[in-house]
Amino acid sequence: MSKKDRMSGNEAVAYAIRQVNPDVMPAFPITPSTEIPQMVSTYIANGEMDTEFIPVESEHSSMSATVGAEAAGARSMTATSSCGLAFMWEELLVAASNRLPLVLALVNRTLSGPININCDHSDSMGARDTGWIQIYAENNQEAYDNFIQAFPIAEDTRVHLPVMVCQDGFITSHAVENILLEEDADVRDFVGEYHPEEFLLNPGKPVAIGPYAISAYSMEAKYNQEQAMIRSKEVIMEVAARFREKFGRGFDLFEQYRTEDAEFIMLIMGSAAGCAKEAADRLRDKGIKAGVLKLRVFRPFPAEEIAKALENCKAVAIMDRCESYNGHGGPLSSEVRAALFENRVMTEAVSYIYGLAGRDFTVDTAVSIFEEIAEVAGGQKKAVQNRYVGLRTRKEQ
């Protein structure tokens, strides 16, 4: 039975790690994810779990050790944030291309510079094309639920890809909120025992992992990797359905909040979705049909499903908590607009940049964005793409 509790997002993920009790966890601390390995170490010291914790000297090493342990046949994971993820770069690609189903608890924090410890999605978005599945959480409950689902998704034989479970640094990682926790036995039953088909420490069936591939084989390996990413979509939905059946919560690829008849939709990821929902409710009270599409799964990118969900609205605000420095908008905006065009959904799509480096995103801001896209749809206003919301003027500074 579910137990009502209250804890921060970091505590919730550490609690889930204790329940899953993975075989190996190498880690190096970095704000705001430091508490996760810290709490796991305490659980281990108290004898509440028996994961082999490896303190390493850098994130390059933590991901290398996680890759090595997973290749050896052990269920492995690590945690990091920001520059820690950047320092793992080479190994992120090694993990995915070697089809290693490891899990990374990412606590989103901006990348330098200016150096700053607060939340945006530039770390995980920078890693969006490294071959990892990416799942985002709105609150501590979703961070907990997504983490539990990560292992069955990654380890499914149709997938065999690493999974990054993301939550917003400080905003959820350090906020104590209500949460429903599941019994240890139920979580372990849901995640199941790990029985890799092929692994290094298996003398009866020797394999090589990560050897050089000549050009005659490399392209096929990359094709197969992409096919696994495509297949992962149905596995993510199956695991979500199984989770919902067992624990009664959760979403598939995205959550649709009051979108059935919505004329104006905000497409957003992570903790800011709550403000967007509150804003939609306020506008509904005034007779404006607003709704929210909260993207849970960014990789694989649900292009067709998003286009279908937006086909009847008059305008969509696409909210990026990340700048791409490409002169053409954030990553979410680029992908959503391509998906709309590909599926011939010709709704007004207005892209915004918000919440960089911890800039607060409020209900009032969300309301003003809904009002703006309504004016764009009504022809009273010309769309300004990639506007920074909440940007202070020189006078305010």
d(C-alpha 292, C-alpha 241), whole Å? 21
Applying the rule CB under 8 A, the residues between 177 and 216 that interact with other proteins are 177-178
Instruction: Report the b/e string of 214-252 with b at 16+ CB within 10 A.
Output: eeeeeeeeeeebeebbebbbebbbebbeebeeebeebbb
Token couple for 6: 């209250």
Residue recorded with tokens 């530039």? 122
Question: Structure tokens of 280?
Answer: 């939609």
- Pick the stretch among 129-137, 322-330, 354-362, 379-387 that binds other proteins (CB under 8 A): 354-362
Nearest approach, Cβ of 51 to other proteins (angstroms)? 24
Contacts of other proteins in 358-377 (CB under 8 A): 360-363
Binding track, positions 306-345, relative to other proteins; x by CB under 8 A = ----------------------------------------
The distance of closest approach from Cβ of residue 31 to other proteins in the complex, given in angstroms and rounded to an integer, is 8
- Give the nearest distance from C-beta 33 to other proteins in angstroms: 14
Residue type for position 231:
R
For the CB of residue 158, give the shortest distance to other proteins in the complex, in Å: 35
171 binds other proteins (CB under 8 A): yes
Bridge partners, residue 3, by sequence: 181
Distance CA 231, CA 235 (A): 7
Report if residue 172 touches other proteins, rule: CB under 8 A.
Answer: yes
**Residue (5 or 184) nearer to other proteins, CB:** 5
Query: Which of 97-105, 270-278, 331-339, 343-351 is the region at the interface with other proteins (rule: CB under 8 A)?
Result: 270-278
| DSSP letter (8 states) at residue 81 | -
Q: Which stretch binds other proteins (CB under 8 A): 127-135, 166-174, 226-234, 295-303?
A: 166-174
Which listed residue (43, 144, 147, 170) binds other proteins by CB under 8 A?
170
In this complex, which beta carbon is closest to other proteins, that of residue 298 or of residue 354? Answer: 354
- Which range touches other proteins (CB under 8 A), out of 147-155, 168-176, 340-348, 380-388? 168-176
Total residues contacting other proteins (rule CB under 8 A)? Answer: 24
CA-CA distance, 383 to 199, in Å (whole number)? 53
CB atoms within 10 A of CB 392: 9
Query: Among 168, 182, 263, 335, which residue interacts with other proteins (rule: CB under 8 A)?
Result: 168
The alpha carbon torsion through 194, 199, 204, 206 (nearest 10 deg) reads: 170
Is residue 128 within 8 Å of 165, Cβ to Cβ? no
Indicate whether 12 belongs to the interface with other proteins (CB under 8 A): no
Give whichever of 256 and 312 is closer to other proteins, judged by the CB atom: 256
Query: Which range touches other proteins (CB under 8 A), out of 121-129, 243-251, 266-274, 380-388?
Result: 266-274
Specify the pairing of strand 264-268 against strand 315-320.
Answer: parallel
Its sign, for the CA torsion 311, 313, 315, 316, is: negative
Q: Confirm if 154 and 162 have CB atoms less than 8 A apart.
A: yes
| 113-152 positions binding other proteins, by CB under 8 A | 117-118, 138-139
Tokens of 380: 């009273």
Find the part of the chain contacting other proteins (CB under 8 A) among 14-22, 176-184, 282-290, 373-381. 176-184
The answer to whether 293 and 310 have CB atoms below 8 angstroms apart is: yes
Secondary structure (3-state) at 294 = strand
User: Residue 178 CB, nearest distance to other proteins (Å)?
Assistant: 5
Q: Binding residues for other proteins, per CB under 8 A?
A: 6, 117-118, 138-139, 168, 170-172, 174-178, 271-272, 274-275, 277-278, 360-363
